[in-house]
Amino acid sequence: MIVLPTAPTSKNERVLMQWTRERVTGITGSTLTFSNVITSDVHLLFKNGSLLDPETAYTVTYNTVALTVAAISGDVFVLFYHFPRTTT
């Protein structure tokens, strides 16, 4: 018998399901634009696999990340952040 997934019942499970991931490549310059508004201070931005420090490496405004050091076309950025999703 295969158990079908059910909607999360605890608040912790619902919060964990709100994490989303976006990957950006081929960008030159100091601005990254993402699909959703980054409303929380809880986010992780990686550049080429290294975690960037939000105190010194970038700032977030709405859905845009302003880098303190410009990106080159070979850089790969991955952003993990909270984005509210509806669950059924």
Reported confidence tier of residue 86, pLDDT bands at 50, 70, 90: low
User: pTM for the complete prediction?
Assistant: 0.75
Asked if 27 and 71 count as a contact pair (C-beta separation under 8 A), the reply is yes
Which tokens is 42 given?
């809880």
DSSP state of 2: P
Asked if 58 and 67 count as a contact pair (C-beta separation under 8 A), the reply is yes
Identify the residue whose tokens are 């405004």: 61
Please choose, from the candidates 3, 4, 81, the residue with its C-alpha nearest in 3D space to the C-alpha of residue 42.
Answer: 81
pLDDT tens track for 24-66: 999 999 999 998 888 767 899 999 999 999 999 999 998 999 9
58/8: higher pLDDT:
58
Which tokens is 60 given?
């977030």
